[in-house]
Structure 1
């Protein structure tokens, strides 16, 4: 009788189905360090549930399946209970992971939890663009960038080993720590010096590029004006020479004296240089030339 009552009491007690959770839903580790992906579970009745780990990329791939690690995780990961440790993580390991626990004997047969892994990369030596010289009064930009650090680095510019912070009042430069651009709106001789840039993102040690000296030269206004004046004089002389040559007739094709030669029905104007060639005498559409040289002598005359 007591055994029956005990059994009935056990059946009436509430029993929790399978539950899966994690102590850290987001894990951040530096590249080449170990990452622990936590997964904890409780079951209703099943004492030997099935545990699987999957990674969500463009597709879902197995990390741990049927008691073994698969693919790129084979030989570089271990599991304790349902918690997985990845050794020497790489950038390609970053992503979202899912822990699944299947308890076939439980009322609720499946539970799962997600863990996001972020792989951090310390700063690399940044690429710096520093001009060697500039003219006073001009706009000059110095650039600094590190495309490999994760999270993205912030940048600090130094002049003669002293940091350049964002100015407060009437400064001639603007510095953006997020883009790494140092911009001089109107550079002066006081801005000459040695510049370098430092990148940091809170992971590992900050890195700097090599310093480079930037010279500031004065704009020689007198030399520019003198050059413009000389150029204008040269152009003026060329124009006057061309005009004089045109007035003297150096550009004309025919420079001899002209004569008027009467013809049967009109007068044609030819030059003395072409007078010896009767075939070049224009007829101006007044009819065919004489057929005989004798006719030509009797019918035409020259008039100076």
Structure 2
């Protein structure tokens, strides 16, 4: 008798499944302008018609789907199938974390929820490249390359005269940070003269390159510098002599007028 009662209680408790919410894909990645499916599945204990809500979790929580209607920014480009949300032609503004909430007032546990993160992937754009047109030998020179739009963030490859500059190059006179796109010459030499361009790449689409720019490295003209210094000294001496001569001969006296 005791065994039968215990078995009956066990069967009844096994049949009680309060509202639960799950997702096949809690992390979704799609390319920009593609459709995104945010999976949400649920089961209830007693409630046959639970309330489905979707919210976007940013700095503030905003409704996506509420009271069986989509909010204005999602109206006409979103659908609900069961509790699964489908967004059409997603943009960067759609990226973020979404919460699927299922309310079942007739269940023992009345609320279940699951978060789904949407990442909108963007292929590389043509990067902006900053290449100095000239520099003097022995000086520090940096070339910069940046693509602000690609997601995930691009990695960068620099080219000199259409040949890739390898990051791990023995006895190289330069360093390359492939994440920031900065090519650094601690002390440039005339052999570094050439045409440089950069390519931005990520796993979403084909790489994009900026147009090439020639960088000319010249030696410091010592003779011209010495001549310039001597000329400056000569001019300063003439000025000093002129002032001294004027004062000596009363050219600056107030009694002689202007």
Q: CA deviation at 1:246?
A: 4.4
What is the rounded CA distance, in whole Å, between the counterparts of 2:242 and 2:71 in structure 1? 89
1:135 aligns with 2:142: no
Confirm or deny: 8 A CA contact 1:156 1:164 kept in the other structure.
yes
Residue 242 of structure 1 and its aligned partner are, at CA, apart by: 4.1
TM value normalised by structure 2: 0.86
1:147 is matched with 148
Q: Give yes or no for contact 1:28–1:117 (8 Å, CA) kept in 2.
A: yes
Aligned position for 1:225: 226
Q: 1:244 to 1:12 in 2, by over 3 A?
A: closer
CA distance in 1, matches of 2:140, 2:195: 18
Equivalenced residues, count: 249
Offset at residue 127 of structure 1 (A): 0.9
Find out whether 1:35 has 2:36 as its counterpart: yes
Larger Rg: 1
Distance in 1 of aligned mates of 2:149 and 2:103: 40
| Alpha-carbon distance in 2 for matches of 1:244, 1:93 | 80
Whether the aligned pair in 2 keeps the contact of 1:167 and 1:173 (CA below 8 Å) is: no
- Alpha-carbon separation, structure 1, partners of 2:116 and 2:52: 15
Residue 201 of structure 2 corresponds to residue 197 of structure 1: no
Partner of 1:232, secondary structure, is: helix
Task: Please give the alpha-carbon distance, in whole angstroms, between the structure 2 residues aligned to 1:231 and 1:26.
Answer: 69
Deviation at 1:125, TM superposition (A): 0.8
Distance across 1 between alignment mates of 2:157 and 2:148: 16
Of the structure 1 ranges 105-114 and 52-61, higher mean CA displacement relative to structure 2 is found in 52-61
Task: Give the match for residue 216 of structure 1.
Answer: 217
What is aligned with 1:268? none
Q: Is 1:116 equivalent to 2:117 in the alignment?
A: yes
In the TM superposition, what is the alpha-carbon distance from 1:71 to its structure 2 partner? 1.7
Report what 2:161 is aligned to.
160
**Separation in 2 of the partners of 1:250 and 1:112?**
95
Separation (CA, whole Å) in 2 of partners of 1:245 and 1:73 = 85
Q: Which has the higher contact order (CA 8 A, sep 6+)?
A: 2
Unaligned stretches of 5+ in structure 2? none
Query: How does 1:1-304 map onto structure 2 within 5 Å?
Result: 12-14=12-14, 15-248=16-249, 250-251=251-252
| CA distance 1:150–1:226, change in 2 (3 Å) | same
Identify if the C-alpha distance between structure 1 residues 241 and 16 changes in structure 2 by more than 3 Å, giving closer, same or farther. closer
